[in-house]
Structure 1
Amino acid sequence: MPVRYKLCLLIDDNYIDNFVTRKILESGNFAEKIIIQQSPGDALLALKNGSLKPDVIFLDVRMPGMTGFEFLEEYDKLEPDPEHPVKIFMLSSSLDPTDMDLSLNSRHVAQFIHKPLTYEALEELST
């Protein structure tokens, strides 16, 4: 299976979730490189200064300091590169229907995925 993306950014404060998600992404040959940022603020800074240019972002909803939705609000203020569109997938253990609705109403979010990421969910992302 060919690699789908060059760079995948995983933004989640939970070490175990990051470990599991990275393993699924690696074994699914999802991206050439996977970078983990446990702080949404640090991820925003890296996106803002251009040190990170991901093709796809997996974003947790509930994190201390800045939620996934707060990240999206700040992300919305960044100048998008029309030649380098970024897909954002919300990846969360939240069962709150409001979280799903807010995610899907964001112009940046392609899909809401329940944790843990599975091979089946990963396959559906390519269809």
Structure 2
Amino acid sequence: MYKGYKTCLLIDDNYIDNFVTRRILENSNFAENIVVQQSAFDAIEAIKTGQVKPDVIFLDLRMPMMNGFEFLQEYDKLPEQNKSASKIFMLSSSLDPVDVKRSGQNKYITQFIHKPITQKILEELSA
């Protein structure tokens, strides 16, 4: 099912969620490289410096220090060449309709996905 993505960036502070999501991404051959950042701040720095050039980002919403929406505010400030190729999927366990609505209104969010990610969801994203 390899979509042709070169680099997928997974941003989530939860080690277990990262482990599970990464395994599902690897087993589906979703991307050549899967980079995991447990901090949205570290992820922004990695994108800003060019250390990571993601085609796809799976972004958790609820994280300490910098949440998903704060990440998006910082992401918006990046130069266009650092962000132009990225699709961002909000990957969250939040059931709050306000979070879903706010995600839908953000110009960078392609889709809000409820955790856990599944093979079926990845197939739909690749269709």
- 1:93 maps to 2:93: yes
Residue 117 of structure 1: SS of its match in structure 2? Answer: coil
How much is the aligned-residue C-alpha RMSD, in angstroms?
A: 1.5
- Name 1:67's counterpart in structure 2: 67
- 1:78 maps to 2:78: yes
- Name 1:110's counterpart in structure 2: 110
The percent of aligned pairs where both chains have the same amino acid is: 64
Structure 1 alignment gaps of length 5 or more: none
- Name 1:46's counterpart in structure 2: 46
More helix by share: 2
CA contact (8 A) 2:50 2:82 kept: no
CA contact (8 A) 1:3 1:32 kept: no
- Name 2:37's counterpart in structure 1: 37
Q: In structure 1, how many angstroms separate the alpha carbons of the residues matched to 2:29 and 2:8? A: 11
Instruction: Quote how far apart the aligned CAs of 1:53 are.
Output: 0.4
Q: In structure 1, how many angstroms separate the alpha carbons of the residues matched to 2:65 and 2:76? A: 18
Q: In structure 1, how many angstroms separate the alpha carbons of the residues matched to 2:54 and 2:93? A: 23
TM-score by length of 2: 0.95
Structure 1 residues 53-105: Cα deviation after superposition (integer angstroms, max 9, x where no partner):
01000000000011100000010010122895100000000000111111111
Structure 2 alignment gaps of length 5 or more: none
Structure 1 residues 22-62: Cα deviation after superposition (integer angstroms, max 9, x where no partner):
01101111000101000100110111111110100000000
TM-score by length of 1: 0.95
Aligned pair count reads 127
List 4+ stretches of structure 1 deviating above 4 A: none
CA distance change for structure 1 residues 85 and 71 in 2, over 3 Å: closer, same or farther?
Answer: same
Instruction: Quote how far apart the aligned CAs of 1:4 are.
Output: 2.6
Aligned positions of 1:14-29 closer than 5 A: 14-29=14-29
